[in-house]
A and B are shown apart, each in its own frame.
Chain A
Amino acid sequence: MRSITGTRRLLKWVGNALLVMMLVWTLVPFYWMVVTSLKKDKEIYGFEATLVPRQPTLANYTRLFATTPFVKYVRNSTIIALGTTVFSLVFGCLGAYALARLRFPGRGLIARGLVVTYLVPPSLLFIPLFAVMSTLALIDTHQGLILAYLSFSVPFATWLLMGYFRSVPVELEEAALVDGCTRFGSLVRVILPMSLPALAVVAFFAFTQSWNEFLYANVFVNSVEVRTITTGLTLFVVEDVFFWGPMMGASFLSTLPPLILYLIFQRWVVKGLTLGGVKG
């Protein structure tokens, strides 16, 4: 018995030490991003790793708003991420209800198809999708990018909601149906109100994944008017010269929406993650 408590104490200290190391490893890069954005160019391009800016300045941020299309990029990202979120929620709810509650031929096949679809990586699809988008004249449009994002957010939404809807007791819905509710009515009045956590998870993942997406945004969009923040950032590099100050400022600002959402939804995020809800 004594040796076990001894080991426990040892483990506790090893754990604490490792925790400190991991916090450093995790936070220093993030801290460096923030601190770079608050420095003057002279300090940024100096030869010292100053952890606290000598003369903190917001100059990089004013430069960002005054001389770059940053605001436009943020607007585009917001439009596209919100559009994707709304469509995935609506499509997901409808499809998931059918898969969870109705009996029809091909149900198992469709459920399997959803998962397979979700697992097919974008790096395999971007070349043919580029051809599809060109044919449909959807290159350089918000609609085109939203459509492309639906290819991963709808299967995930449908699949996650399907599992959740099944866990809503059938008796509740039967009661509503007996009382004269239509199928659609019972979806809206019985199932959805009981599935709010799942809807939140779906909305969270749809929004952040679209906000963070890069490959499709890079391939299907060229114009500044539609460009999203992730691809816009890479344009702060002009002829191999990086403007690190404004770039780190922009990086920090555009990390805030997913970061804040993560802080709010933390508890539910894990549930979505354990279901494979992230491409990381």
Chain B
Amino acid sequence: MADFFLYFPQAFAPANLVALILGVFGGLILGATPGLSPTMAVALLVPFTFHMDSATGLTLLGAVYTATVAGGAISAILINIPGAPANIATLLDGYPMAKQGKSQTALYICFISSLVGGIFGMVIMILFTPPLAKIALKFGAPEMFWTAIFGITVMAGLSSGSIFKGLIGGMFGLLIATIGYSPVLGTPRFVWHDVLTGGVSIIPALIGLFAIPQVFALLETLGKDVAKVAFKPEKGVLFKTIQENLKMVKALSVGSIVGSLIGVIPGAGGQVAGLISYDQVRKMSNNPKSFGKGNPEGVAAAESANNAMVGPSLIPLLTLSVPGSPTAAVLLGGLLIHGLFPGPDLFTVHAEVTYTFIATLVLAQIVMCIFGLILSRYSYNVMRVPNLEMAAAVTILAVFGTYSVQNSFDDVIVMFSLGTLMYVGRKVGFSPAPVVLGIILGVIAEDNFLKGQLIASTDVGMFRYFFTGTINIIVISLCVLSILYSIYGEIRAYQKMKIQGERK
């Protein structure tokens, strides 16, 4: 902690400040653009930092990372397309709020909650790096497998209509994740066309599942007298929202804690943090039915979690070279091209660069909130773009964002195919969020299951390996509780419908 304060003034060096401001501003814009994920934005910038001073280059990458995660909420709230994977949970209540004419409030809640979660995550990162890194070290194959399964059980709560449809969607996502070559055995699976040889990557899937159905949905509104989700910034809303937002202690606390915990687990990322936090806050709420219909607590939970994840996701990265999120993995490339190798040396030999980087990340949270609140006032201009032009532009951006990740036209075809299928799926009550979660967790679940299976067969056997141990038992209990709660919710919904039917 003393080292952090010793190097904190370095964050205010002119070059670092310029990098910070440009990074945050650009990150917010990039984050708000559908399809341009934080991972892609940071990956695009890594080569540019090569010619910069190490601290300045890392400041730019860190600022973009922080701001894109928060900026993705702008498009999630205003046009129902998450700008980044981390904002999937934000649109569940953010977009309904916008439709109710509360866009300004939703955006303000998003940035204030991001600041609260972000600062919490950074404090966790600075204070608890050594003990949390030790806990992360204890997550072996069975613990990671059960963590993925826990994420899958969360899917049940994500479906707006039927739990079964939510679970089928999630399972469909898990199946999509198995397309291509088996990561452990190298056997091709479901490769029915050359396009599928490389499997389905998360970015094409994410863009396709969210952007393409939205394009077709925008066309449906042509010629119809549809209430547009537009707003005029009003005075006094900010002060009122800050007061209202800070009263959401439960949502902000759960979001910040869940985000920090998920962040420190390698590979999980902001999308998992946001969805789990959202689900937990919904379950703890006195009025869970209001979630998905524009409950501000839903936005606060999701946004505080995905930004709380940023700091802790760097803990295993800086100490063990294990990235806590896909973007942190790209950030590792940024560290390496500056000759900074993760490990104890970062905090001793390269202490100045490391602590300056951490200090600018803290500052980035504050600058992100200020810029985000200012941008929120003008983001309503996004809504002035006619739906037809928006549909054309979103299609082009979706193609561009998908292609530029791996320079692969196959990815574009996969993106469009999945998107078209999802559009039809949406028409019959399926939601894209469980499918995406399935794709993300499928790789983690299968990879760790097969690894665990191999280890268990030569060690203590499957049961003892997967079902004993404190962390395993805790995560398995959470899985069981999540499923039981979802079944309880379904039964209650059925009973309510029955009572209403009898009254009629």
A binds B: no
A→B interface (CB under 8 Å): none
B→A interface (CB under 8 Å): none
